[in-house]
Structure 1
Amino acid sequence: MTDTYETRPGRPNLLGAHWDGEGVNFALFSDHAHKVTLCLFSEDGGTETHRIDLPERSGAIWHGYVPGLAPGQLYGYRVDGPYAPDRGHRFNANKLLLDPYTRELHGGFTQDPAIFGYMQGGDDLSFDDRDSALFVPKSVVSHPETFPLDARPLRRGWDDALIYEAHVKGTTITHPMIAEEKRGTYDAMASDAMLEHLTKLGVTMVELLPVQALKPEGVLLERGLTNYWGYNTVAFFTPEPRYLGPSGVKGFRAMVDRFHAAGIEVILDVVYNHSAEGDQHGPTLSFRGIDNASYYRLLDGQPRYYVNDTGTGNTMNCAHPSVLRLILDSMRFWVQAYGVDGFRFDLATTLAREPQGFDRHGGFLDALRQDPVLSGVKLIAEPWDIGPGGYRLGQFPPEFAEWNDRYRDTLRRFWRGDARAAQDLGGAILGSADLFDTRGRRAWASVNFGAAHDGYTLADVTAYTERHNEANGEENRDGHHDNFSDNFGVEGPTDDADIKAARRQRVRNMLATLMLSQGTPMILAGDEGGNTQNGNNNAYCQDNETSWLDWEAMDGNLIEFTSALSAIRKAHPTLGQSRFLHGAKRSDGTKDVEWRAFDGSALNWRDPGLSSLCILLRGSAENPGGDASADMMLLAFNREDADQELDLPDIAPRHWRREIDTSTDLQTPLDIADPRITVPRSSLSAFSAVEVDA
């Protein structure tokens, strides 16, 4: 191995590896390193051919320019400095490190003792001098034409939004109408078959589970499992190679372009709160070996150990300007190079936590909101983590929407029959204004869902009262303890026709409530067709039939029902208003929302057993000229175990039309001439006000 390349100082301002037509500029941040060595590799990645010490340091940026290098060159870094875990430093030049700014990877990870900075079997204060290069992927010098920064987000509004949360592989791997060589890939995600399905459902946003390159945890690999969900990122600029199809890395932008052509936005679930390197016993793959004390939050007074607000072993130090820059540069790249329309932030409280605690005006959130690129895309927070004061639902800035897990629990509790759940449902249907109607926020800020990747599917909410996670290898201790579920007397599958029918109706009830509530509805991929995970409510490590959608088993009638719900929501702007409804008087003297009992009397909200209620929705009093001003909807919830007669409000000269009846699979609009109608047991009916001659 010889150093035969000429090197020049290069530039520090552009981090990563950038080819200019004649050579490559390399720049890497490390505040505490003593030396940074660029390592070049053969085309197959198996042989290290050159080591070049970066010749210049400008502040904390190490940089150099190497003439003659071309796109496709494989490389990595070795960073020398103190190996002093007790002082927070874990430099080990024997470990090949990924460039945090690499846009492509060559090869994969091998779970070998050499990837650890310390001697396996000993404690983390020991030092391992084995070379890890054979066991880690290599960074790739990308051609600028591969990632032109000319993409444009679709920029749809929020008011008609319907989110579909999906896993690239799990959603497409078994689809019979997708070519076999494309299944499980980015190419498949926006295939004709998927676009037809999503368009039928009225989806406006596909929210993809993590697609940034990851490394599975060693403990999972030892069990013969892997990190299926992908919440273990190692390269923030790089599409996860497992999902590359025939189009390679360009397939990601082609996927986004196809979604955009169909009017569908793409939201990425991003994991900037931690990395795949884990705690002090984890591997040295990138950040830890580049500058552990800068990239990670370490315990005050005990910098050998990591702050673990994420539950994954480490926490990224987003308060550090260079770490913040990395995250923002990464997000900007996904917007400008791929055209993504927004981001859902995993454990967003971690990103907003300053030394004094959660701060809605902290550096990360403020930087996002003032960024000329990122301030214009959709931002969705998962508003919790396991750190101190970590549950922050409703407390993010107005530019953010937030996952509303309280809505999920309320929805399940109401239809299960829990006492006092009706009172909570009343607020949930109106967009959880008690949480979100502050600082000028809009109703779309509440992302409502009945199920998400983390937990039961909707079908399993109706089939299991106990989690069944034995296959995860954790003795069924993992996953949520309380799922507010109900198995109707039989745990799991049953041949009892009555139970099966009751379960299907419960799913329809939850889907209908979700789609008819104020706020932004989100559907978990597969729930529209009754998908099951057989009671596993933490299938993060199940890259198999447990998690994959079984398209052959999808319930076509339930898909049609979900499509009908979506069509009703889009046809009636009253159901998705941007402003909150509080029972205020409108200009015509009516109220924007009215609650009633089935007989037309006032509801007794103090009744803990309240189980039947009606809500009359009109356009917001704050927006009298809006699209919903002339629209009127009546929702009737009958949780009783018997049919009930509903006295319809007099709306002459208009009349009521029943649009939705969850007691049946297929929906046929029914014009109603009588002032009274039967609402079947354990069901929800939705009525719209129509003109007499309509």
Structure 2
Amino acid sequence: MPLTLPDRLSPGLPYPLGAHWDGLGINFALFSAHATRVELCLFSANGRKELCRLPLPECTDEIWHGYLPTGEPGLQYGYRVHGPYEPLHGHRFNPNKLLLDPYARQLSKPLQWGDGLFGYRLQSPRGDLSFDRRDSAPMMPKAVVVDDSFHWGDDRPPATPWARTVIYEAHLKGLSMQREDLLPHVRGTFAALADPGFVAHLQRLPPPPLELLPVQAFLQDRVLLQRGLRNYWGYNTLAYFAPEPAYLSGDQRNELKVAIRRLHAAGIEVLLDVVYNHTCEGNELGPTLSWRGIDNASYYRLMPDDARYYINDTGCGNTLDLAHPRVLQMVLDSLRYWVEVFHVDGFRFDLGSTLGREAHGFDPGAGFFDALLQDPVLTRVKLISEPWDLGPGGYQVGRHPPGFAEWNDQFRDTARRFWRGDDHQRGALAARLAGSADLFDHRHRKPWSSVNFITAHDGFTLADLVSYAGKHNEDNGEDNRDGTDDNASANWSPRGDIEGPTDDPAIRTTRASVQRALLTTLLLAHGTPMLTAGDEWGRTQHGNNNAYCQDNALSWLDWQAAASPEGQALTAYVAQLLAIRARLQAYAEPRFAHGHVTIAPDLPDLSWFDWHGPLNDEQWADPAGRTLVMRRAARTPSGAPQVTLLLLNAGEEAVDFLLPAPALAWRVLADSSQEIAGPGHGQTSGPAHNQPVGGPRVEGQHYVLGAHAAALLLAESVPGGHVEPTA
């Protein structure tokens, strides 16, 4: 039915914020504390023609609002906001610029770059103090009014316990762009997310929560497009409530809901990587797209001595002011929307230290944390923080409040250096293997609080970590200056001169051994492991450790490599490790182990050894220590003791380990030098978590572990009782 355009809006209500259809019409509500007038602009069905401008007739408590009778879902709209253009005082109102509703839940199209998107004249000698009068509407995406109803049936969150969680970090587009079994228009979209082939791949592992890089609508940076590149990762948010339009295979925004529904049915949780620390508008020289033109002085943190400039704790040009109640409300409303409307199971917060920074610095009791953790909806989902940023006191690993898990870069760096053979790593690695209690064991936090990872989207892939001594980011167009130089990587050639692929069998063998040892360390350490998609079969980015702008085969998952014999074997090994982890009691323990609790006579819950016996202070301090044994003991629900040994050998030669008492017999669950041990050996299909956990029995009290290798042994019996079988 064609829209009847009224002469004016009725007053409507100041709540809820955004545009909401009630079955009879649409209520519009927009926050702006400093505006003098707000106009609602309605557009034709294709978004090209502005049909009318209707002032929002009321302002209640700084919320501008109005009601459009007969309005229906599908209506395209934007705002023009009047007020002072005084950058020196923090105000950048320009009604010539069409502005996107911060609560927009669907976008009509991608943004088209042009100089008219800027509130100032780009070529003016006065810079951002000048004023641009061009209309930006033809270049801007329009907000689309939606109907959020969806038939969820009996959908229930899998609610995987934190102690049994293993995170699988992936890029939505990269997951399926090279899936030749999918139709071209489906690849790289939400529709491909729940494809049976991908779901089956995840189910080969004990189904891990799927953590997706940003899927909220984001901006393609002009400078990247001019270089023939694209913002692939998506950490440049344009709309906090809207799915990224490029990830839709058609015009059906329910694709993501369908995907989540099917993933839930397979027992797979869905977590979203979200960016609430900054927006895509950049610094004072950036475009005016939404928040800057709606109320710059309220939405952003500005320099206290010169409000023309932005506080840039994020390194992205601006910082959202979460100390402002309406900005905080926008973030919480957005999070709650994704949980209630899309049924997502949790969030990973980019640059989480920024979100917890108050006027005096980072505060675990910051308003954002307090508001989030008391929210009856949000406190029930998984919350993960990246606990650092570029601001003062930005490194805050271990200092977030209870209820949060945190990325632990100390685990990443220590594990990489230990397996590279660096000195002085044994003691640090022991702390990381035990769940980083030195960082997280306070305020009754749990071992799962430490999110352990070897790789992430940012940095080398696992295969590249053992194939390149340095980064190779030439394709990014920045003369290889971008990306970190501190990778703790090695190419494992005798003279260090062979970067990347090689046919040398000795080098290939060493690289494969170190890769499996790193995976074993990650998946058998205490804490919450995070796998980066593709590492389970050896994905490469050819040495690029900053592929944020590589929206191409360099970043997309290579499923042909996954199907190769080598890829299948490594995936099967990962599945075996995850199956082991899922069945061992120690990984489900709710408290950190410190060696103070006795499980059986002469058997504390945590003990450390060298290859030949207990470690003394001198041996702990030995810079050349390359071996380590972690013994964990716990009682199963039946009360039977369960004891494991994790043996690590980062040296160049095999080591004969003396297995510590009091166990009387041992069985090998995994040995990275042998790829797979036990009855699951060689299996390349089927749900690994349904396989029994077990392996060959150790004869005697010695075990020879190969170079660059890790192994896990299970005690068959200990004084005080027979060990309960794991399967």
C-alpha distance in 2, partners of 1:661/1:91? 64
Q: Secondary structure at the match of 1:318?
A: coil
1:274 and 2:261 equivalent? no
Q: 2:605 aligns with which of 562, 568, 592?
A: 592
C-alpha distance in 1, partners of 2:430/2:599? 24
Match for residue 7 of structure 1? Answer: 9
Q: Write out the 4+ residue segments of structure 1 that deviate beyond 6 Å after TM superposition.
A: 147-151
Q: Secondary structure at the match of 1:513?
A: helix
The question of whether the paired residues in 2 share the 8 Å contact of 1:470 and 1:476 is answered with yes
The question of whether the paired residues in 2 share the 8 Å contact of 1:274 and 1:310 is answered with yes
C-alpha distance in 2, partners of 1:31/1:486? 55
- Tell me the CA shift for residue 465 of structure 1: 1.4
- Tell me the CA shift for residue 647 of structure 1: 1.8
C-alpha distance in 2, partners of 1:222/1:2? 42
C-alpha distance in 1, partners of 2:266/2:6? 52
- Tell me the CA shift for residue 248 of structure 1: 2.3
C-alpha distance in 2, partners of 1:147/1:75? 27
1:618 and 2:633 equivalent? yes
Q: 1:665 aligns with which of 675, 681, 701?
A: 675
Q: Secondary structure at the match of 2:600?
A: coil
Match for residue 643 of structure 2? Answer: 632
Greater alpha carbon shift after TM alignment, 560-569 vs 175-184: 175-184
C-alpha distance in 1, partners of 2:310/2:639? 51
The question of whether the paired residues in 2 share the 8 Å contact of 1:151 and 1:336 is answered with no
The question of whether the paired residues in 2 share the 8 Å contact of 1:2 and 1:49 is answered with no
C-alpha distance in 2, partners of 1:232/1:687? 46
Match for residue 41 of structure 1? Answer: 43
Q: 1:76 aligns with which of 72, 75, 78?
A: 78
Match for residue 499 of structure 1? Answer: 507
C-alpha distance in 2, partners of 1:625/1:408? 30
TM-score norm. by structure 1 comes to 0.96
Q: Secondary structure at the match of 2:536?
A: helix
Residues 293-332 of structure 1: per-residue CA shift (max 9 Å, x gap): 0000000111110000000000001110000000000000
Match for residue 191 of structure 1? Answer: 195
Q: 1:133 aligns with which of 127, 133, 137?
A: 137
Superposition map of 1:98-177 within 5 A: 98-122=100-124, 123-145=127-149, 153-177=157-181
Match for residue 703 of structure 2? Answer: 677
Match for residue 558 of structure 2? Answer: 550
Q: Secondary structure at the match of 1:305?
A: strand
Match for residue 649 of structure 1? Answer: 660
Residues 507-541 of structure 1: per-residue CA shift (max 9 Å, x gap): 10000000010000000001001001111111101
The question of whether the paired residues in 2 share the 8 Å contact of 1:518 and 1:576 is answered with no
1:607 and 2:622 equivalent? yes
Letter in 2 for 1:95: K
Q: Secondary structure at the match of 1:106?
A: coil
Residues 577-606 of structure 1: per-residue CA shift (max 9 Å, x gap): 331111113253420011112223435102
Letter in 1 for 2:594: H
Structure 1 unaligned regions, length at least 5: none
Q: 2:594 aligns with which of 582, 585, 591?
A: 582
1:19 and 2:21 equivalent? yes
Q: Identity across aligned pairs (percent)?
A: 50
C-alpha distance in 2, partners of 1:121/1:150? 58
Letter in 2 for 1:534: H
Alignment length, in residue pairs? Answer: 689
- Tell me the CA shift for residue 681 of structure 1: 1.7
The question of whether the paired residues in 1 share the 8 Å contact of 2:372 and 2:379 is answered with yes
**RMSD between superposed Cα atoms in Å:** 1.9
Q: Secondary structure at the match of 1:684?
A: strand
The question of whether the paired residues in 2 share the 8 Å contact of 1:657 and 1:672 is answered with yes
- Tell me the CA shift for residue 264 of structure 1: 1.2
Q: Secondary structure at the match of 2:646?
A: strand
Letter in 1 for 2:536: E
1:164–1:102 distance in 2 versus 1, CA, 3 Å: same
The question of whether the paired residues in 2 share the 8 Å contact of 1:28 and 1:63 is answered with yes
- Tell me the CA shift for residue 650 of structure 1: 4.1
The question of whether the paired residues in 2 share the 8 Å contact of 1:618 and 1:628 is answered with no
1:152–1:337 distance in 2 versus 1, CA, 3 Å: farther
1:139–1:16 distance in 2 versus 1, CA, 3 Å: same
C-alpha distance in 1, partners of 2:575/2:535? 12
Superposition map of 1:249-398 within 5 A: 249-398=253-402
C-alpha distance in 2, partners of 1:507/1:471? 25
The question of whether the paired residues in 1 share the 8 Å contact of 2:469 and 2:499 is answered with yes
The question of whether the paired residues in 2 share the 8 Å contact of 1:267 and 1:341 is answered with yes
Residues 547-573 of structure 1: per-residue CA shift (max 9 Å, x gap): 111111231111111111111111212
Structure 2 unaligned regions, length at least 5: 679-694
The question of whether the paired residues in 1 share the 8 Å contact of 2:155 and 2:264 is answered with no
1:149–1:20 distance in 2 versus 1, CA, 3 Å: farther
The question of whether the paired residues in 1 share the 8 Å contact of 2:84 and 2:92 is answered with yes
Match for residue 574 of structure 2? Answer: 562
C-alpha distance in 1, partners of 2:659/2:599? 23
The question of whether the paired residues in 2 share the 8 Å contact of 1:104 and 1:139 is answered with yes
